[in-house]
Chains A and B, each alone.
Chain A
Amino acid sequence: MTLPPGVSSPKPNQVCKLMKSLYGLKQASRKWFEKLTSILLQHHFIQAPSDHSLFIKKTASSFTLLVVYVDDIILVGDSLTEFDHIKSILHNSFKIKNLGQLKYFSGLEVAHSKLGISLCHRKYCLDLLSDSGSINFKPVSTPSDPSIKLHHDSSLPYDDIPSYRRLVGILLYLNTTRPDITFITQQISQFLSKPTQTHHQAALRVLRYLNRCPAKGLHFPRSSSLHLQGIYDADWAGCIDTRRSINGQCFFLGDSLISWRTKKQLTVSRSSSEAKYRVLASATCELQWLIYLLRDLHVTCSKLPVLFCDNQSAFHIAVNPVFHERTKHLDIDCHIVREKLHDGILKLLLVSSKEQLTDFFTKPLLPQPFGLLLSKLGLIEIYQPPPCGGLLHNKSEEENLESKQHSLD
């Protein structure tokens, strides 16, 4: 590196040979993570194979987890003395700032209460709304318009492409606590190269929806069982341009929603059962990963993990080892699901279409079913006053709400 301005060298023609990384270098983040990993491994942490940014230390008396997000670290464990030990180790190697109890983690606001824990992105969301100048937009009740199906249309192209891309990027990050905008984000992010006015209008509608409930977020109840359940569905030929289907899947641990996804399938499916079967395969992979992760965390599930769907034929393809005329080409997908079923690591169950939660992730909904599914997924807004002035709530829930707000203050 050339000499920085302000540094004088005794001889001319001298340069700095870098021994440590500096901000701005391409490999800076990687080198930092390597260094942190080596130090943690020296102190008897184990890097979890299912997620390499998760470090686990299990001794006879204590159990400690470390989740690393660049320079932010979450410490989870049952022993405070072990916490102090780790903090002193890290403080001697680097310099750390102890932020105490987990409250604000890379934009994620964590509110604790007696009955549950709640995650939201309220500040991030409000910043987005005020920066984009949409704080005074009229609120709407759903993020997407059910009468419009987005595709490569022939309306006027939207000129300010960078701002559209920036908005989509922000919405993608918001997805970490907002499953309600997952579907529409997947939809509008398909048109990053050539957005039109219609797509921009759809993106603005999401902002109007966020304006209605900026603090909506996930709620994890404390009294939750350790039972993994997944629900999957597909909107057959949901993409007008390519006629590919749209996957929707979500996973619960007990009553807490922990993982969800909306994704367009990579190939065209000839029938709806075929489309659903493909989702089943991808849901199986995700479920398998979650099982591995739980095993790394030394957590045993109380029951066998279950996958739900409303499609009978996809269920039968998976259960019966027969190749039908129409399923000859489903080779790889078939094998992975059947293998896992045969190993007995998961169970498939049918569910009626009325109780199908994944409509949320595969199609735009009307306000009434949208609100219903929202409450089923455990999305609440802790800043909102309770309905009917709180008369319908019992006392414990009121206390719950108050303590949450206290913890945020």
Chain B
Amino acid sequence: MFGCLCYASSLQVHITKLHPRARKPIFLGYKSGYKGFTLLDIHSRDIFINRHVIFHEHILPYPSNPDSITSQWEYFSSPPTTSHSPLSDVDHIPPSIIDDPIFESSLPNNDTSSPILHVPTRQSTRTSNTPAYLQDYVCNNIHASLYPITNYVSHNKLSDQHSCFVLSLHSNPDPKSFTEANKFDCWNQAMQAELSALESTGTWKLVDIPEHVKPIGCKWIYRVKYPADGSIERYKARLVAKGYNQIEGLDFFDTFSLVAKMTTVRLVLVLAFIHHWHLHQLNVNNAFLHGDL
């Protein structure tokens, strides 16, 4: 978190017993090309990079005074070019802030008593204009909606637990495995439906395992089907075989299957049009389940 207190290890090779073990900086961000964090030392006020850092995200040494925050943001919006050189512009931060009572009081590692400070994020004040060459057009891609919902829905006022709950409802993820799905009734029903469909077509029969035979595996795939309006149409579970364990010559022979050549499709369409034939289209449900082994 930007501006939070942390302790960076200062362990080096030539160090004596009474040297400090850590420096006390605040976190600034990441620098591309380095594996460490970019940090600003509170006392010496130089910017350096360190990999071994312990963060205290609830302690913000600099108070959330809006004026001082904006001045920091403007300055730090572009990453520093040289890492280990002290920057003269750090003097922008008034020295009084560093001796601020809040900062001093937050120094002890007391997790509960320290106040949580919220840093307001900077928002751009630039007004965005449509490019001149697009003024005569209705462009859906640039402004999808005049009133995007993100401007009106906010989870800020919710408590942490409640917003977690709301977010998990929104995403509604498909379960990844049988153990995950087995906990829900809707998925159990979907699996029962698929199993009964497979049994009614006689897809398999149960036999004792023959010797020296390694059966191939199978797994469930789960998908929630949404129609265009975003509601839930149905829960779909499909059983798939792990075909990658099949051995050629033993479990299968040829796998090549034809599809229509696109030239044929075009030619047929042309002919159908010239001769005023009817053109219809069909789709076979669960086509692959019909093949006989």
Chain A interfacial positions (CB closer than 8 Å to B): 1-7, 9-11, 13-36, 51-54, 65, 67-78, 80, 83, 87, 90, 93-105, 108, 110, 116-117, 119, 135-136, 176, 218, 220, 222, 224, 226, 253-254, 256, 258-259, 290, 293-294, 297, 299
Contact = CB atoms under 8 A, between A and B. Distances in A.
Contacts of A24: 218, 240-243
A95 B284 contact: yes
B270 A135 contact: no
Contacts of A95: 284-286
Interface stretch (B53-61, B80-88, B105-113, B204-212): B204-212
Q: Contact size class for B? A: 35 or more
Contacts, number: 289
A336 to B, nearest CB: 20
A75 B292 contact: no
A224 B274 contact: yes
Contacts of B155: none
A20 B290 contact: yes
Given A1-B217, A14-B207, A18-B293, A25 B281 contact: no
B49 interface: no
Nearest to B272: A76
Chain B at the A interface: mostly helix, strand, loop or mixed?
mixed
A9 to B, nearest CB: 6
Contacts of A83: 278, 280
Interface pairs A-B: 6 shortest CB-CB: A31-B291, A71-B287, A24-B240, A16-B204, A21-B291, A5-B178
Given A24-B241, A101-B279, A293 B255 contact: no
A26 B247 CA distance: 10
* A contact patch SS: mixed
Interface in B108-156: 141-142
B269 interface: yes
A226 B271 CA distance: 9
B158 interface: no
A22 B279 contact: no
B255 A53 contact: no
Interface string B217-253: 1111000000000000000001111110010100111
A220 B273 contact: yes
B134 to A, nearest CB: 10
B209 A14 contact: yes
B272 A259 contact: no
Contact of B280 (A5, A18, A75): A75
30 contacts: A5-B178, A20-B290, A21-B289, A21-B291, A24-B241, A29-B288, A30-B291, A31-B291, A32-B257, A33-B257, A34-B291, A35-B292, A54-B260, A68-B259, A69-B265, A74-B260, A74-B280, A74-B282, A78-B277, A78-B278, A93-B290, A98-B282, A99-B281, A103-B281, A110-B279, A119-B266, A224-B273, A258-B267, A259-B267, A293-B267
